[in-house]
Amino acid sequence: MSQRKDKFTTDADIEIKGCYKPEDVKDFNYETCLGDPGHFPYTRGVRDSMYRGRLWTMRQYAGFGTAKESNERYKYLLEQGSKGLSVAFDLPTQMGRDSDHELAAGEIGKVGVAIDSIEDMRVLFDGLPLDKISTSMTINSTAAILLSLYVAVGDEQGVSRSDLRGTIQNDILKEYIARGTYIYPPSESMRLITDTFLFCHKEVPRWNTISISGYHIREAGSDAVQEVAFTLSNGAAYVQAAIDAGLEVDDFAPRLAFFFNVHNNFIEEIAKFRAARRIWANLMRSRFGAKKEKSLLLRFHTQTAGVTLQAEQPLVNIPRVTIQALAAVLGGTQSLHTNSYDEALALPTQHSATLALRTQQVIAHESGVADFIDPLAGSYAVEALTDEIERSAMEYIAKIEDLGGATKAIEQGYQSKEIEQRAYEHQVAVEKNERIVVGTNAFRSEGGAHADLAKSNPELAREQVQRLQALRTRRDQAECDRALQALRDRTKGTGNLVEGILGAVKAYATLGEVSDVMRDTFGLHHQ
């Protein structure tokens, strides 16, 4: 919330009235605007019992250094009560470069775990039965490769592919809009995504093939309305691409998932989630003719806002994360990651990661909010703000459609320009003290960084490179070359790319080598 003279607004500059009354929701219709929880248009949640039936998945995001280190952290988090894994990958892995590539220097294991081959993937999930856990992997350009590595390890464990559960982010459109870890041109990237849809529909039916992400759009500087609009517009583009590739909407739509940010503006964030569910249900039914109930559901994971974490007075990040997590729960999330208070300074320590998980557990088991099903429904303020976010987001979606859809709008730079303008306006407001950031532009105090910060070990990068190079000397090179050539043939034809990638990684081809095959055929995208 900001206060400018006598005007109060949300972070998206929606004017806030002092007191909301029935006339502020005069167009309110229970059936079309709300419905019951678990029923169209799902404003009140995707399940009729919500958290009474099952709590949200507490899925703490982790990954750093080597696969062995990350494996130890995953086991620790599961022992502490986390219900699912969420894997962060380092930048070379995200960009399709092996750890011994010159562009990987200085980045190995820094912002996530380094994965070069099936050997790393085995270590990452050692002792973790893949038929018993759900794994989310935040990976985009190389998502098909990481999925193939996961399936290959599952095959080695003797796990039926139909028992594998999890999500790959696999959302390349938002990379062109907001984040930048793209490799190939948009059309070739979309082919990888639709091939993943087709492969999983046939082979891995319980896998969420894409997590359409508003998180990074918000981290880049968008407001809540833009986050909803650009995310759902991207979602519509993926649905259309899958239909164009020959899939029936009800064959793949139930496995679509979403990933949203949650910020400090408590009521606006709750209304944002409610509006997003309603927009998506209507889009899927009216535009794409979806018939199955599960095709209409906007199921989503939420992560608290990294961009709101401050290096000054880092312990103050704890109440920020708590407010954000509570908004996500009251907004009806299915899965949640809570950031650690020290993340503005370094990778989370084991202590700070545990405290972040405990924050969720207190909300779940002590606050009482999980006992209610959409407890804020019917609030004049919440319903009015939900309607306003829906209306404003639909204006953006209509504009994007006028430009030819999400992909065409991206090529014209529309979404990026809108986000850049919003980010600029926000920063100016902070610098003018029109928006208060506690500890940064107000309420400062002496002292700062917490002393116990995680430190990277440069020796781990050298060990990672040594293991990779040793793999190349041990493998059957002729078999690896044949598998890579088979993948190359698919890239030049119409064969399913994921099937070719799976064959290559099982032959010990590295992530960088598989990516290079597609670089050679598809080319690179430049902005």
Give tens-digit pLDDT for 230-280: 999 999 999 999 999 899 999 999 999 999 999 999 999 999 999 999 999
Side-chain half-sphere exposure of 170, counting CA atoms within 13 A: 31
- Count of beta carbons in the 10 Å neighbourhood of residue 522: 17
Query: What is the rounded CA–CA span in Å between residue 399 and residue 378?
Result: 31
Query: What is the rounded CA–CA span in Å between residue 100 and residue 108?
Result: 9
pLDDT of 450: 56
CATH superfamily to which 2-431 belongs: Methylmalonyl-CoA mutase (3.20.20.240)
**45-76 pLDDT, tens per residue?**
999 999 999 999 998 777 777 899 899 989 98
**67-115 pLDDT, tens per residue?**
998 999 899 889 998 878 889 999 999 999 999 999 999 999 988 999 9
363: CB partners within 8 A, 6+ apart: 322, 325, 326, 329, 369, 370
Specify whether the backbone of 464 is left (phi greater than 0), alpha (psi in -120 to 50) or beta.
alpha
Domain ranges of the chain: 2-431
Amino acid type, 257? A
Q: Is the pTM of this model over 0.85?
A: yes
**392-430 pLDDT, tens per residue?**
999 999 999 999 999 999 989 999 999 999 999 999 999
